[in-house]
Amino acid sequence: MTDGRRRSLRRIAAVLALVVLMPAGAAAQQMPSDQPVLLLADEVIHNRELDLVTARGHVEISQEGRVLQADTVNYNLRLDVMTASGNVSLLEPTGEVLFANYVELSGDLKEGLARDIRMLLANDARMAAVSGTRTGGDKTSLNHALYSACRPCQDDPDRPLLWQVKALRVVHDQSAKDVEYHDAWLEMFGVPVAYTPYFSHPDPSVERRSGFLPATVGSSSDLGALIQVPYLFVISPQQDFTFAPIFTTSEGVVLTGEHRRLFAKGETITRASLTQDSSQSLLGHIEATGRFDLTDRWRAGYEIERSSTDTYLRRYRFSKDSERPWLVTRPYAERFEANSYLLAEAYSFQGLRIDDDPGLTPLVLPSLRYSQVGERGRLGGYWTLDASALAISRGEGTDTRRLSMEGGWYRPFLAEAGHTYTLGLSLRGDGYHVANRFGTGEEDVAGRLVPRATLEWRYPFTRSHANAQEVLEPIVTAVLSPYGGNPDEIPNEDSLALTFDDTNLFEYDRFSGLDRVESGPRVNYGLQWGIFGANGMRASVLAGQTYRLREDSAFPVDSGLRDNLSDYAGRVTVSWRDQLDLYYRFRLDKNTLAQRRAELSAVAGPPIFRARADYTFIDRISPTDEFGDREEAFLALSSAFATNWSASVYARYDIRDRDLLRSGVSLAYDDECFTMVASVVNDETGDRDYQGGTSLLLRLVFKTLGEVPISLF
């Protein structure tokens, strides 16, 4: 063997020596021998009698981003053994740093040992071992090893870590891609809190593998004591299934599962559960979503929500939104163009309220919508087209078929003095076929044409201050359309929920759907003011009203829009950096200025003491209004009272009925290696066989190691 070949072998062996002992598996990467190797040392000696090459003094060997440093590196050509000793360190391209006092490795890199191993991972986690050995070229064993993601205390480095795992032996099998722990203890603040004779997990090179996931333990007034033990089945790189049965003392076993699949241009997620309660009734639910990008312009998907009973989701803790008393199943397909949009969909609903009648619940199949905006023409205007088709069926109630089309032309103007105008002309036609009206078996055919001319005027004024900019803008929209257009033959399916507020103050038609139209000549007018400071302060006020030549009976009596003069609607917003955010939306009686509707949300204070207040007041608009009379307050206080510590308390109160709906308190700790969240929640919103009650939750997260959720409902 020539000196040049021996030198190359020695350099490569030195670079790989510590890499192959790394327990995390990153060291298994191949190092191509034809890549340049940089060797720095105070001296390099070749003892020909002993056939020993020695690099001594500030030895540094680097190749492809890996840097090996040591006091001394020896390569025995006769025994084919390489050693590195004295302050040995290896810096990986990924950021890991490995330290050791001594490393010995065979020439074929299959056998080796190291002493006093310490490792700093890229995520700031730390690992150490008294010694380590490598056998068979693919199995590394660390003796008396420990691992932690916690950083040592800067003021007292000898202080016990918040948590660490100690194991008598850690074995990394690179062929099986397993990391095994033997006789392992979990310590917190230096005190052992949990022991296991054996556990294992896939090494970091494995993205997913079948196995048990962290368990959840708790209790509930409805279910009794419970434990949930999830198991992950990895079916393929693009598909998995999690089986997570819940064992309860009061209601038996609840079978739950989640299936996920990823396609080249789409994905599906399906969650479901099944159980038999104490009355031997079979219960369950399904929740599924899917989305597929068929082409660059076509997309299709579905949403499925179904439950065996109205209260099942809340009773078995599957509900995510207790404010939404219905479930929706919706398949859809849509097409996107630069200036147009097409949507085809269907809706099936399941009501969850006690007074919902399945026979009157609508099935929407199909619902088609198309919108297009034209290019600006020679006259400076642009045209619009909106079309829709809808079919609504019921088992016992009214069936409706609707076809609607609206075309419009709009021309914006900008006057020299700063006035802005937008002129609009539109014509809308609706056709209806109604069967089994109100369950009487009667049929009706109805239609209407709604021509409309509109003119919008804005005139913004600006004024500059030393550290702020002020804007005042009057806004007027005039609408000219004929009276009527809402015959009794046309059922009201999609325009029941009507809210007059700042969001539709200047709209040409305030109804949320197409079944009702706002008719007659009218003028919407208002004033908008805002100030924007250089120091982060912002404030704005918007207020306005509608005037119509005569009453519009299509609006409910207490909607604020039926009379010649409407109620006043508007909003107030104030914000200042991250110390204050206030949003107030209001509707005031036109005669008395009494509050008819209000929504207030305010957040104020620094992180050390932050307060939030929400207030909601809604008058009943009609018996079919989804929300009805409502007056609620929500108050919350939070505080980051110490480093890594935070606490919060909240309550939601029904002012009208003088009932506490929900309240809670929580305490949290979060640092680089550990998260703890403890909370107590009291829910007074029971429903039939759902009792509500008090929930306690304790969640412990050992970062990079795993999660231990403990919930007591």
Distances (CA, A) of 578 to 8, 575, 603, 645: 60, 8, 9, 20
pLDDT for residue 615: 96
At 710 the pLDDT is: 39
Q: Is 535 helix (H, G, I), strand (E, B) or coil?
A: coil
Give the chain's domains with CATH numbers: 3-204 (2.60.450.10), 460-628 (no CATH)
Helix (H) or strand (E) holding 508: none
Residues of the chain with pLDDT under 50: 1-33, 624, 707-713
Asked whether 175 and 670 are in contact (CB, 8 A), the reply is no
Q: How far is CA 128 from CA 117, 159, 637, in A?
A: 5, 17, 43
Beta bridge partners of 94: none
Contact 392, 523 (CB under 8 A): no
Kind and range of the H or E run holding 531: strand 522-533
Tokens of 265: 């241009």
Distance CA 226, CA 192 (A): 26
Q: Which pLDDT score, from 0 to 100, does residue 523 have?
A: 98
- For residue 681, the model assigns a pLDDT of 82
Q: How far is CA 225 from the centre of its chain?
A: 30
Position 566 scores a pLDDT of 96
